[in-house]
Amino acid sequence: MFPTPIEKKSLPFNMTYRVAIWVALFLWLLPLIAVLMTSARSVADINAGNYWGIPSEWMLFENYTLVFTETPMLRYLLNSILITLPAVFGAVALSTLAGYALAKFKFRGSLALFAAFIAGNFVPFQILMIPVRDLTIGMGLYDTASGLILFHIAFQTGFCTLFMRNFIIGLPDELIEAARVEGVSELKIFWYIVLPLVRPALAALSVLIFTFIWNDYFWALVLVQSDEVRPITAGISALKGQWLASWQLIAAGSIVAALPPVILFFAMQRHFIAGLTLGATKG
Amino acid sequence: MQNLHSKQQKWMPVVFLAPAVVLFTVYVMFPILQSIWLSFYEWDGLGEKTFIGFSNYRELFDDYQFWVALKNNLYWMVFFMLAPPIGLAIALFLNQKVMGIRLVKSMFFFPFVLSQVVVGLVFSWFYDPSFGLFNKAIGLFGMEPVAVLSDENWVTFGIIVAGLWPQIAYCMILYLTGLNNLSPDQIEAARLDGAHGWKMLRFVILPQLRPATFIAVVVTVIGALRSFDLVATMTSGGPFGSSSVLAYFMYEQSIFNYRAGYGAAIATVLFVIMDIYIAYFLWRMLKSEKA
């Protein structure tokens, strides 16, 4: 283990370290802690310039209720869910199929196709912006959830295929070959043999791209314009303009916007990190 | 597997790949070509397109705003490169087994999970000239308050620091995973040979962390070139375009100024810059594929 385990050092050093990590954490998250505190402040506090001290009265419940009743925040939150869930499902489904084909079948151009998926995943969004916007308008899907969902599925398929292909290639060939010898159809092999084996990868991938899609802001700006469809990232940004001085509400709104991916992260931390660091230990 | 070339096997990959390939071609591959093609036209996004050859590019290279954006992208790339070493430093700091360390590690990672819009809001607060913590902090050292986000000289750096926050968290987690997978034998052997501290890090640990470093550098460069969300939420490119980056400049020209052809030319330049890194990444990736 590197650095040397702290247990081997002196007692004062140990004590210092154990305190230092929490102090460092506090400093690291200070900007966020401030937002959290602000979301619990009263208007009087804000007007008095009390942004960093302890709130003079705790308005946590009131502020969050206000956010949900006085603004379209609930609508935005719902929109985000309605956009993110189908997009995650679609991208993971398509890329599992594609990843399996690229990992376990030998055919000409498979490597080139794989390279295209990887490359596409890194391109700047702006090179896609005008054509994708036109395409979406042309299909009558501008300012609809479907327009955003379709784009997210298509774009995330690049990363997801890379991910699934690299996972599936590690699965043993013997199982698949044995089934083929038995005359099992390819679709059945995929459904009954491959799919159960990739379940951990599916979980990791899903939580990861849930966060990516949930946090998307650019495409929400480009493909959507009305409150009825707008996801929460674009929503909070729109609200910022309207409540210029109501920092406690913007703070509460930000916390609401951040919460779903944060909850997912803490609930499925192991999967999340496994997904994110794929390739960081080998290759 | 070779002698089992049944008809089914030959066609199955096509069936499995078709949905992904079709969608990816329509939404990613084809639009890239369309954008490059569009960059040779004068177009307001709605009406007739007029072919104008390289005029968009000629205009671009004479556009002061373009050079500002490009320079800022360069700053982003240079200063974003602090993320891997700082991430490594935090990873080394936290790579211990004491009580509560798992919670500390996940809380350190926290900024990465936040939307960039939220990060932007958080840091706008942090920098606020009248009540922001940043100015309170520098006030303690007797310095005058700085309105970071409305000062042409500071604004880009202010946004980059906001961008570094989640980026460092990402690099940290890559290195923590790497540190978890170090070969204990090599470390023990090096310890017996008397290596420790900096030497150990430099000659034994870092070589083993190379895959993590590679990914960290790639995602950091891509992140720097993609920077849009923070610029859009924190300053909208202001004051007077001084914090704009190519991604935001392109968006501004196409959406607000109705100059789709010109926007496409900006996007193409960004795409060409990015291609260098994409090509390098692919090359590395395919090389390790063949090995």
ipTM confidence: 0.90
Determine the structural domain holding residue B75 and report its residue range: 64-290
* Chain B residues in contact with A181 (beta carbon < 8 A): 4
Q: CB under 8 Å to A215, separation ≥6 — which residues?
A: A233, A261, B114, B115, B116, B117
* Chain A residues in contact with B200 (beta carbon < 8 A): 2
Question: How far separated are the first and last CA of chain B, in Å rounded?
Answer: 21
Altogether, the residues listed in chain B come to a count of 291
Give the per-residue pLDDT at B6. 56
| Rounded-to-integer distance, Cα B119 and Cα B126, Å | 10
Residues A132 and A254 in one domain: yes
Given CB atoms, is A273 within the 8 Å cutoff of chain B?
yes
A44: in domain = yes
Q: Grade residue B58 by pLDDT with cuts at 50, 70 and 90.
A: very high
Question: Which candidate from B121, B181, B254 shows the least CB-CB separation from A130?
Answer: B254
Residue B160 vs residue B125, higher pLDDT: B160
**Which chain A residue has the Cα nearest residue B176?**
A277
Residue whose tokens read 């990736």 = B285
Rg (CA), chain B: 24
Distances in Å between the Cα of B13 and the Cα atoms of A101, A109, A262, B9, B95 are 5, 12, 37, 7, 44
Total structural domains within chain B: 1
* Chain A residues in contact with B101 (beta carbon < 8 A): 21
Residues A115 and A46 in one domain: no
Total structural domains within chain A: 2
| Rounded-to-integer distance, Cα A125 and Cα A212, Å | 14
CA distance A99 to chain B (A): 8
Amino acid in the structure at residue B278: I
- Residue that terminates a domain, selected from A48, A66, A84: A66
Residues A107 and A247 in one domain: yes
CA distance A218 to chain B (A): 7
B6: in domain = no
Write out pLDDT tens, residues B14-29.
899 999 999 999 999 9
B32: in domain = no
Best residue of B10, B11, B15, B27 to probe chain A, by most A CBs closer than 10 Å: B27
B184: in domain = yes
Across the interface, whether the CB atoms of A127 and B225 are under 8 A apart is answered: no
Task: Give yes or no for residue B218 having a pLDDT over 70.
Answer: yes
Given CB atoms, is A61 within the 8 Å cutoff of chain B?
no
Residues A74 and A93 in one domain: yes
The closest of A83, A77, A93, A219 to A146, measured between CA atoms, is: A83
For chain B, the three-class secondary structure string (H helix, E strand, C coil) is CHHHCCHHHHHHHHHHHHHHHHHHHHHHHHHHHHHHHHCCEECCCCCCCEECCCHHHHHHHHCHHHHHHHHHHHHHHHHHCCHHHHHHHHHHHHCCCCCCHHHHHHHHHHHHHCCHHHHHHHHHHHHCCCCCHHHHHHHHCCCCCCCHHHCCCCHHHHHHHHHHHHHHHHHHHHHHHHHHCCCHHHHHHHHHCCCCHHHHHHHHHHHHCHHHHHHHHHHHHHHHHHCCHHHHHHCCCCCCCCCCCHHHHHHHHHHHCCCHHHHHHHHHHHHHHHHHHHHHHHHHHHHHHHC
Give the per-residue pLDDT at A123. 92
**Which chain A residue has the Cα nearest residue B119?**
A32
| Rounded-to-integer distance, Cα B27 and Cα A13, Å | 56
A281: in domain = no
Residue A225 host element (H or E): none
Write out pLDDT tens, residues B86-107.
999 999 999 998 888 999 999 9
Residues A58 and A82 in one domain: no
* Chain A residues in contact with B30 (beta carbon < 8 A): 131
Write out pLDDT tens, residues B270-282.
999 999 888 988 8
Could you count the other beta carbons within 10 Å of the beta carbon of residue A270? 11
Q: How does A16-27 read in b/e, with b if 16+ C-beta sit within 10 Å?
A: eeeeebeeebee
Q: Grade residue B1 by pLDDT with cuts at 50, 70 and 90.
A: very low
Tell me which residues of chain A have a pLDDT lower than 70: 51, 244-245, 278-283
Write out pLDDT tens, residues A29-78.
988 888 888 888 887 777 777 767 777 778 888 888 888 888 888 999 99
Give the per-residue pLDDT at A183. 86
- Residue that terminates a domain, selected from A22, A37, A66: A66
CA distance B224 to chain A (A): 11
Q: Give CA A143 to chain center in angstroms.
A: 22
Quote the tokens at residue B216.
Answer: 């960290």
Write out pLDDT tens, residues B235-254.
998 899 999 999 999 999 99
A232: in domain = yes
Cα-Cα-Cα-Cα dihedral sign, residues A205, A207, A208, A209: positive
Determine the structural domain holding residue A36 and report its residue range: 6-66
CA atoms within 13 A on the CB side of A45: 21
Task: Give yes or no for residue B3 having a pLDDT over 60.
Answer: no
| Rounded-to-integer distance, Cα A240 and Cα A243, Å | 6
Residue B206, domain CATH: 1.10.3720.10
* Chain B residues in contact with A173 (beta carbon < 8 A): 1
Residue B120 vs residue B45, higher pLDDT: B120
Identify the weakest region by mean pLDDT among A67-81, B64-78, B183-197.
B183-197
Residues A61 and A93 in one domain: no
Q: CB under 8 Å to A101, separation ≥6 — which residues?
A: A110, B12, B13, B16, B17
A33: in domain = yes
Residues A31 and A76 in one domain: no
| Rounded-to-integer distance, Cα A49 and Cα A213, Å | 36
Q: Grade residue B2 by pLDDT with cuts at 50, 70 and 90.
A: very low
Residues A224 and A122 in one domain: yes
Residues A19 and A138 in one domain: no
- Phi/psi class of residue B258: alpha, beta or left (left: φ > 0; alpha: ψ in -120 to 50)? left
Residues A52 and A21 in one domain: yes
Residues A159 and A256 in one domain: yes
B132: in domain = yes
Phi/psi at B50 (nearest 5 deg)? -120, 130
DSSP A103: H
Quote the tokens at residue B271.
Answer: 């795409």
A283: in domain = no
A49: in domain = yes
A282: in domain = no
Q: CB under 8 Å to A209, separation ≥6 — which residues?
A: A87, A88, A91, A92, A156, A159, A160
Residue A39 host element (H or E): none
Query: What is the torsion angle, in degrees rounded to the nearest 10, for the CA atoms of residue B110, residue B112, residue B116 and residue B117?
Result: -20
Amino acid in the structure at residue B110: F
Write out pLDDT tens, residues A204-220.
899 989 999 999 999 99
Quote the tokens at residue B113.
Answer: 């999970």
Residues A108 and A195 in one domain: yes
